[in-house]
Amino acid sequence: MPAKDARIQQHDRSPAAIGNAFSRRGFLKAALAAGTLPLFPGATRAAASAVKRLVAGTRVIEVNGRPAKVFRLTGPDGHPGIRLAPGERFRVNLANESGTRTLVHWHGQLPPWTQDGFPWPQTPPLADGAVQAYDYAPIPGTYWMHSHYDMQEQNLMTAPLIVHNAAERREDRQEVVLMLHDFTFRTPQEVLAGLTGKSTAQTQAMAGMPAMAMSSPTSMHMDLNDVHYDAFLANDRTFADPDIVRVERGGHIHLRVINGASSSQFWLDLGELVGQVVATDGHPVQPVAGSRFPLAMAQRLDILLDLPRSGAFPILARLEGTGRQTGIILATTAAQIPRIAHSTQAAPPLDNSMEAGLTAAEPLRERPTDIVHTIALGGEMKPYAWSMNGEHWPHVTPLMLDQGQRVEIDLVNRTMMAHPIHLHGHAFQVSAIDGQPIRGAVRDTVLVMPKRRVRIAFDANNPGRWAFHCHNLYHMVSGMMTEVRYQGIAV
Ligand SMILES: [Cu+2]
């Protein structure tokens, strides 16, 4: 049964499978007790200096019963992405075997700007067949990597980037990575042409589904889901054949959820389970208990789960404003695996009610702000063009910073859509929502709701030239990106 074998192989390469291999509960403890392993595998001096090979290539997955050729980013163990032990440097040789040019961005990490994978002339794309070396000190947490070149992100040039810290290694939790994608059999160029080249009505007719207008609680209309997708993937699979992660009865889980979708946002729904959110975008927060959490494009959540009993526990990702869903299933041995529909009752649009209640566990130190910039987010569905301060990438005026400044940026959304705004090379703290000051989460991507404002604060401590953009891929490529540049950086 070659088809089945292929599926199994693909299953074994899923991010969740790596999690199981690495941190199966008890494995590390037993190995430590037996004295057969260094305290942290890979963290010895010799191992820490080892260079990891990361291959950008292609692969075929099955979606809705059809084969689909997509990209891959495969680490040295054959699994997607990179995992680093506590204290280990990000020493990676990226080998491009994709058959085309690429450029990979280490989303949320704080490397020197020349290693950031942002497509300036100074960081040209990597030619097919070429290898590029990276070496920087990573920050711990749940991160990810994705192509920042030519909309390759839509074709799954994406993977987890997990940096462990010593404390969580001691906690003895089973790590489960859940990576979300939106999938279309159309090329991203076709999707973009549909968005920009036709009237909204024509685009809707072509896509078979409207770019949805929803009413928020304040009865203001907002636009959601620009793109109609063929499927939503959780660890490359749908509920037709989901990723089933084996867990222990009463098991303790560390769930790392990554929204790698190009143009879709989800409610993470734990079903009957109650989890504790302990980190947002890799940065610790005061724990928040709940069963349903919003996850904007590019954002991550770290959730601790203690299973109450044996059984099967679906972890759902529900597309905002629709009934569509994907997910994985945590299951103890011999548990009956339920059949989960691709569609259920509609989930509401994402909102910032959780964001407003988050508190950073490791906040920025208190100090006066040196400079406040305002960025107006502009644009609309028709014509489909999105802007920052009225400018469309690449015709932008850089936002200039001096090294050492405490910077705040007011993000003012003048549009009818929510925009997940991402700053490269820095971690920022959410300092106000709609003018209400908070000591909110430290993050790298924040959702700015339609007609609302979010203020972020950060220290200008990583000199260079950095991208600052909406993480909706089609907003970014139609103009919603600018540059943050330090004074004195050569252009
Ligand atoms: Cu946007």
How many other CB atoms are there within 10 angstroms of residue 193's CB atom?
Answer: 14
> What pLDDT is stored for residue 212 in this prediction?
44
Residue 333 and residue 194 share a domain: yes
Q: What's the rounded Cα separation, in Å, for the pair 211 and 131?
A: 41
> What pLDDT is stored for residue 472 in this prediction?
97
**Separation of CA 135 and ligand 1 centre (Å):** 31
Grouping H, G, I as helix, E, B as strand and the rest as coil, residue 171 is: helix
Residue 187 and residue 164 share a domain: no
Residue 231 and residue 263 share a domain: yes
**Separation of CA 413 and ligand 1 centre (Å):** 10
Whether 297 is in a domain gets the answer yes
- CATH number, position 394: 2.60.40.420
pLDDT tens digits, one per residue of 81-139: 999 999 999 999 999 999 999 999 999 999 999 999 987 777 889 999 999 999 999 99
Whether 362 is in a domain gets the answer no
Rg (CA), the chain: 21
Number of domains in the chain: 3
**Separation of CA 365 and ligand 1 centre (Å):** 30
Q: Under a CB-based contact definition with an 8 Å cutoff, are residues 401 and 460 in contact?
A: yes
Q: Considering 313, 330, 357, which residue would you say is the last residue of a domain? A: 357
**φ, ψ at 16 (rounded to 5°):** -65, -35
Whether 175 is in a domain gets the answer no
Report the residue count for the chain: 491
Q: Considering 323, 357, 391, which residue would you say is the last residue of a domain? A: 357
Question: DSSP labels for 209-226?
Answer: S--EEEE-TT--EEEE-S
Q: Assign 186 a pLDDT band (cuts: 50, 70, 90).
A: very high
Q: Under a CB-based contact definition with an 8 Å cutoff, are residues 106 and 160 in contact?
A: no
> What pLDDT is stored for residue 222 in this prediction?
79
**Separation of CA 440 and ligand 1 centre (Å):** 22
Whether 153 is in a domain gets the answer yes
> What pLDDT is stored for residue 171 in this prediction?
84
> What pLDDT is stored for residue 48 in this prediction?
54
**Separation of CA 479 and ligand 1 centre (Å):** 9
> What pLDDT is stored for residue 318 in this prediction?
98
**Separation of CA 292 and ligand 1 centre (Å):** 23
Q: Under a CB-based contact definition with an 8 Å cutoff, are residues 282 and 258 in contact?
A: no
Residue 448 and residue 333 share a domain: no
**Separation of CA 476 and ligand 1 centre (Å):** 7
**Separation of CA 132 and ligand 1 centre (Å):** 31
**Separation of CA 113 and ligand 1 centre (Å):** 23
In the block, residue with structure tokens 């299953």: 11
Q: Under a CB-based contact definition with an 8 Å cutoff, are residues 163 and 143 in contact?
A: yes
Please check the confidence at residue 195 and state whether its pLDDT lies above 90. Answer: yes
Residue 233 and residue 133 share a domain: no
Q: Under a CB-based contact definition with an 8 Å cutoff, are residues 468 and 411 in contact?
A: no
Whether 303 is in a domain gets the answer yes
Q: Assign 22 a pLDDT band (cuts: 50, 70, 90).
A: very low
Joined tokens for residue 170? 């001691």
Residue 401 and residue 326 share a domain: no
**Separation of CA 170 and ligand 1 centre (Å):** 39
Residue 467 and residue 332 share a domain: no
Whether 491 is in a domain gets the answer no
Q: What's the rounded Cα separation, in Å, for the pair 479 and 395?
A: 9
Average pLDDT of the residues in 48-61: 91
**Separation of CA 447 and ligand 1 centre (Å):** 9
Whether the bond into 124 is cis, omega within 30 of 0: no
> What pLDDT is stored for residue 35 in this prediction?
34
Residue 83 and residue 23 share a domain: yes
Helix axis angle, 200-207 relative to 188-196, nearest 10°? 140
How many other CB atoms are there within 10 angstroms of residue 327's CB atom?
Answer: 25
**Separation of CA 174 and ligand 1 centre (Å):** 35
Joined tokens for residue 355? 């964001």
Residue 131 and residue 18 share a domain: yes
Whether 255 is in a domain gets the answer yes
pLDDT tens digits, one per residue of 288-311: 999 999 999 999 999 999 999 999
Joined tokens for residue 431? 């300092």
Residue 412 and residue 305 share a domain: no
129 Ramachandran zone, left/alpha/beta (phi>0; psi -120 to 50):
left
Between these two residues, 478 and 215, which has the higher pLDDT value? 478
**Separation of CA 216 and ligand 1 centre (Å):** 18
**Separation of CA 388 and ligand 1 centre (Å):** 10
Joined tokens for residue 393? 């990438």
Task: Give me the amino acid identity at 110.
Answer: L
Please check the confidence at residue 278 and state whether its pLDDT lies above 90. Answer: yes
Residue 380 belongs to what domain range? 371-486
Q: Assign 38 a pLDDT band (cuts: 50, 70, 90).
A: very low
> What pLDDT is stored for residue 43 in this prediction?
41
Distances in Å between the alpha carbon of 358 and those of 31, 256, 293, 446? 38, 18, 12, 12
**Separation of CA 261 and ligand 1 centre (Å):** 13
From the list 312, 315, 272, the residue with the least C-alpha distance to 295 is 315
**Separation of CA 435 and ligand 1 centre (Å):** 21
Among 22-36, 333-347, 374-388, 454-468, the range scoring the smallest mean pLDDT is: 22-36
Q: What's the rounded Cα separation, in Å, for the pair 443 and 449?
A: 16
**Separation of CA 49 and ligand 1 centre (Å):** 39
Q: What's the rounded Cα separation, in Å, for the pair 98 and 71?
A: 7
Whether the bond into 394 is cis, omega within 30 of 0: yes
> What pLDDT is stored for residue 220 in this prediction?
57
**Separation of CA 418 and ligand 1 centre (Å):** 6
**Separation of CA 210 and ligand 1 centre (Å):** 18
Residue 49 and residue 73 share a domain: yes
Residue 229 and residue 188 share a domain: yes
pLDDT tens digits, one per residue of 417-431: 999 999 999 999 999
**Separation of CA 420 and ligand 1 centre (Å):** 6
Q: What's the rounded Cα separation, in Å, for the pair 110 and 81?
A: 17
The chain-wide mean pLDDT, for the chain, equals 87
**Separation of CA 339 and ligand 1 centre (Å):** 35
Between these two residues, 238 and 226, which has the higher pLDDT value? 238
Please check the confidence at residue 30 and state whether its pLDDT lies above 70. Answer: no
Q: What is the pTM of this model?
A: 0.87
pLDDT tens digits, one per residue of 126-180: 999 999 999 999 999 999 999 999 999 999 999 999 999 988 878 889 999 999 9
Residues lying with their CB under 5 A of ligand 1, a single-atom ion = 419, 470, 472, 475
Count Cβ neighbours within 10 Å for each residue of 103-128 and write b for 16 or more, e otherwise.
bbbbbbbbbebebbbbbbeebebbee
Q: What's the rounded Cα separation, in Å, for the pair 419 and 313?
A: 31
Share of the chain above pLDDT 70, in %: 85
From the list 381, 351, 356, 378, the residue with the least C-alpha distance to 215 is 351
Count Cβ neighbours within 10 Å for each residue of 455-480 and write b for 16 or more, e otherwise.
bbbbbbebbbbbbbbbbbbbbbbbbb
Whether 327 is in a domain gets the answer yes
> What pLDDT is stored for residue 201 in this prediction?
41
Q: Considering 328, 357, 386, which residue would you say is the last residue of a domain? A: 357
> What pLDDT is stored for residue 49 in this prediction?
58
> What pLDDT is stored for residue 286 in this prediction?
98
